[in-house]
Amino acid sequence: MRLAAIDHYVPERVVGLEETLDLFRHYSRSFHSESMLEGLIRAIRDYLATTGFRQVTVRGPGEPAVARYLEMTRELIRSAGIGLHEIDKVVYVGVARGYHEPATAHILASYLGIKGAECFDILDACSSWSRAAHILAPHLASKQCRNVLVLSLELNRSASLGHWPGPEGGQNFFEVKSRDDLRWAVWGCTVGEAGTATLLRGDDDAPPWFFEFFHDSDFHKYCGWTLPNHRDYDLEPNLLQDTIGGTSRFYAFAKVIGRSIDTYFTEALARPDIRPLVDEAKVVIPHSVSIPPYQRLFRKFDIDHKARYSFTEHGNTVSCGVPLALSKCIAAGEVERGDRVLLTPSGSGASYGVISFRY
């Protein structure tokens, strides 16, 4: 399997730290006295500092995000020198979507004019792009398909998805009623928006990719995005049951997840079969959840200088975090054909992966 082409779409609006704090100040004001509110804002500033947060990219007013994303994808297909009829599979890996059904891959394939391709979605939180590459590798190796288009469009800040205040309602991350909420709610403001498109191609001459995944499904309770009917599927009450009720909520206990990143990846990167891949890698790309946990991890292995973080410019772009950073590295000439790349994705604290391949 060869990564034949990759590109990204980034929306036009930038929301920086001070604007983010002003949003918290505006929407939380009614729950606190003026002195308590400013104390809360100082606490939020400190919380965000622990993530390395600087800014996020989100859609500007009226920005035609889907149209721009599709045009980027069409150009990627054209530049790869293949026709739409040569794409065998379209796989969508984004957490964000506009419909429960059908598969979002069908919707985007239709917009792109791709006819007859097998379409399906793969979802494993922020690890979805990496999981798709793992699943698709044997399909391409066995010649079940020749060209696979992997798509993700994470538009997670709209009010309808509960990440941005607006007339449609939904969760307002900037409405903090108590300091205790900071443990799980404040991290939503680091979520940014982006889209990526990747063309994977079967190639007998390409070196095999290395994949290793680790799982701790009990961690699902520390990071999630509930639906209004989640209680119908809860055998035990949700960790935040009294807070989220039956609403649609995103939450992340980031400190717990940060500790788990250190635990799983420290053991993995030291393994005798993985350490040579770590040392040989030209760049190392982690998930875009935050920076300090990965910095501490990579310093143990003296590879922090190789790390590339899309979080700095775009925030947590969910399943786009890893491919976005990879696409930007390739566009900047930091990764050239033949270079080894190491990816360390994670998804909701429940899954972790080490992926290595030659670009």
Please list, in sequence order, all residues whose beta carbon lies within 8 angstroms of the beta carbon of residue 40, skipping any fewer than 6 positions away: 24, 28, 32, 176, 179
Mean pLDDT of all residues in 94-109? 95
What pLDDT, on a 0 to 100 scale, did the predictor assign at position 48? Answer: 93
165, pLDDT greater than 90: no
Mean pLDDT of all residues in 108-114? 98
What pLDDT, on a 0 to 100 scale, did the predictor assign at position 163? Answer: 45
**3-state secondary structure (DSSP) of residue 4:** strand
6, pLDDT greater than 70: yes
* 113 φψ region: left (φ > 0), alpha (ψ -120 to 50), beta (else): left
Q: Looking at the domain covering 210-358, what would its CATH class be? A: alpha beta
167, pLDDT greater than 80: no
311, pLDDT greater than 90: yes
For the chain, helix, strand, coil in percent to 5 are: 40, 20, 35
Mean pLDDT of all residues in 324-350? 96
CA atoms within 13 A on the CB side of 78: 8
Domain extent listing, the chain = 210-358
Give strand pairing partners of 120: 91
141, pLDDT greater than 80: yes
The rounded mean pLDDT for the chain is 92
Please list, in sequence order, all residues whose beta carbon lies within 8 angstroms of the beta carbon of residue 351, skipping any fewer than 6 positions away: 124, 125, 127, 131, 213, 214, 215, 216
How many residues does this entry show for the chain?
A: 359
Please list, in sequence order, all residues whose beta carbon lies within 8 angstroms of the beta carbon of residue 67, skipping any fewer than 6 positions away: none
133, pLDDT greater than 50: yes
**Inter-helix orientation angle 17-28/34-49, to 10°:** 140
pLDDT tier, 301 (very low <50, low <70, confident <90, very high otherwise) = very high
Count each helix (H run) and each strand (E run) in the chain, helices first.
11, 14
**Structure tokens belonging to residue 189:** 């403001």
Nearest to 269 by CA among 286, 255, 291, 292: 286
Instruction: Round the CA-based radius of gyration of the chain to a whole number and report it.
Output: 20
Distance of CA 185 to the CA centre of its chain: 18
What pLDDT, on a 0 to 100 scale, did the predictor assign at position 186? Answer: 85
- Mind listing the pLDDT tens digit for each residue in 196-251? 999 999 999 999 999 999 999 988 889 988 888 889 999 998 988 888 877 777 88
pLDDT tier, 111 (very low <50, low <70, confident <90, very high otherwise) = very high
Which DSSP state fits 344?
Answer: E
What pLDDT, on a 0 to 100 scale, did the predictor assign at position 168? Answer: 45
What pLDDT, on a 0 to 100 scale, did the predictor assign at position 62? Answer: 86
166, pLDDT greater than 60: no
Cα separation, 244 vs 340, whole angstroms: 44
* 262 φψ region: left (φ > 0), alpha (ψ -120 to 50), beta (else): alpha
Cα separation, 128 vs 263, whole angstroms: 21
Q: Which residue did the predictor score with more confidence, 242 or 89?
A: 89
- Mind listing the pLDDT tens digit for each residue in 237-286? 898 888 887 777 788 998 888 889 999 999 999 999 999 999 999 999 99
Please list, in sequence order, all residues whose beta carbon lies within 8 angstroms of the beta carbon of residue 120, skipping any fewer than 6 positions away: 89, 91, 92, 103, 105
pLDDT tier, 158 (very low <50, low <70, confident <90, very high otherwise) = low
**Sheet containing 2-9: order of strands:** 2-9, 194-201, 147-154, 89-92, 118-121
- Sole residue written with tokens 């020749």: 146
Mean pLDDT of all residues in 305-316? 96
What pLDDT, on a 0 to 100 scale, did the predictor assign at position 170? Answer: 53
Which DSSP state fits 249?
Answer: -
What pLDDT, on a 0 to 100 scale, did the predictor assign at position 241? Answer: 87
